A = this chain, B = another copy of it.
Amino acid sequence: MELSRRDTILKLIVEYFIKNAQPVGSQTLIQEYGLEYSSATIRNEMQSLEELGYLEKTHTSSGRVPSSEGYKYYIEHLRHKDLDEEIKYSLQTILQEKNKSIEDVLKESCEILAHMTQLASVVLGPESDSESLVSIQIIPLSENSATAVFVTDKGYVENRTFVLGDSVNMQDVQKCIELLNNRLKGTAISKLPEKMESIKPLLSDYVKQHDIIYQAILQTFLKLASDRINTYGRSSLFEQPEYSKDADKLKKMLALLDNPECLRSIIADGSSGDVEIKIGNITDELTDASVIRAKLSVPGHDLGTIALVGPKRMDYDKVVSALEYIAEQLDKYFKEEKGDDSEDVRKE
């Protein structure tokens, strides 16, 4: 489909700006892309586009820069939608590996993405009520220590070491773990801390140093139930002129990436399924950053969320295409692999 002159100009401005991080003037557009219109015509179109809210000026006599609305329009109507071959190939390799936990697949995909897009990426574990405890194992390490391993149905593992001595002994820990295994298998990890509360009396009848052990296990459960969030490619952000030229902005951005709660609140909300995009005004502090987010799931199963974070000026086409590709491939993979078992999966 042929684009209108106006759309062509908007598209080129967005793409030039994404690439060069410089406001775009009418002259530039002609030189760079050999547009057939005169600079005055282009200026007129630019003026209209500005009135429509798609472009902005940094000062009275500067070139134009896309507004948040401009990016949004670009993403919806103008982007190419074809995924960079290099990214596709890299992701393919990772997504097709069997015997890897989803955790690891998402992690590695995000590393790739961060590297290829020069943005920071974030992986947020699945919601804690769609993940349940499968088993607790106790493994003696030496005469005086043992580690307890907690495994969830998503293949996530958490562990806690007990140093035995006057205050704690092996039998007690073992009894305790046995009891918990019986009582807690299949419990959603978000429910573990409260269920633990109800088991407390039982424990105290049964085990000598119940309080120390109880506290330790409760802590582990809290950790298990809290969001697992990891970031990658922080240092990629240096390559972005927005940040390499403005230390303060970079600082705020990295502060966000270092703050799990805040990051979570930005990335977690929103519905499952499609790729979602927030342009500008990510937080009160970060008014010119963007977040692109994909919540990955197979029907009824939350697999976690991945997101890319960076300056408002980012290659939306590339990022959106890549995230869509990941979502699609994971979907395909689960349909294939599970096959007829899928019934069982959906029941949970």
Residues of A that sit less than 8 Å from B by CB: 98-101, 104, 134-135, 137, 139-145, 147, 149, 151, 153-155, 157, 159-163, 165, 167-168, 212-213, 216, 234-235, 238, 244-245, 247, 250-251, 254-255, 257-258, 337-339, 341, 344-345
Contact = CB atoms under 8 A, between A and B. Distances in A.
A341 B339 CA distance: 53
A341 B163 CA distance: 13
A256 B254 CA distance: 16
B247 A235 contact: no
A341 B99 contact: no
Contacts of A245: 247
Most chain-B Cβ atoms within 10 A of its Cβ — which of A238, A244, A345? A238
Contacts of A141: 134, 151, 153-155
Given A99-B168, A251-B244, A137 B134 contact: no
Given A98-B212, A157-B149, A216-B99, A165 B337 contact: yes
Most chain-B Cβ atoms within 10 A of its Cβ — which of A155, A160, A165? A155
Contacts of A244: 247, 251
Contacts of A337: 144, 163, 165
Nearest to A140: B134
B143 A147 contact: no
Nearest to A345: B142
Closest 8 CB pairs of A and B: A155-B161, A101-B161, A157-B159, A238-B251, A147-B155, A99-B162, A235-B254, A99-B216
B216 A238 contact: no
B238 A247 contact: yes
Given A147-B151, A235-B251, A235-B258, A212 B99 contact: yes
Given A149-B149, A254-B235, A135 B143 contact: no
Given A151-B139, A168-B98, A144 B341 contact: yes
A142 B134 CA distance: 9
A147 B101 contact: yes
B137 A149 contact: yes
A104 B167 CA distance: 20
Nearest to A233: B258
A96 B143 CA distance: 21
A251 B236 CA distance: 10
Contacts of A149: 137, 149, 151, 157
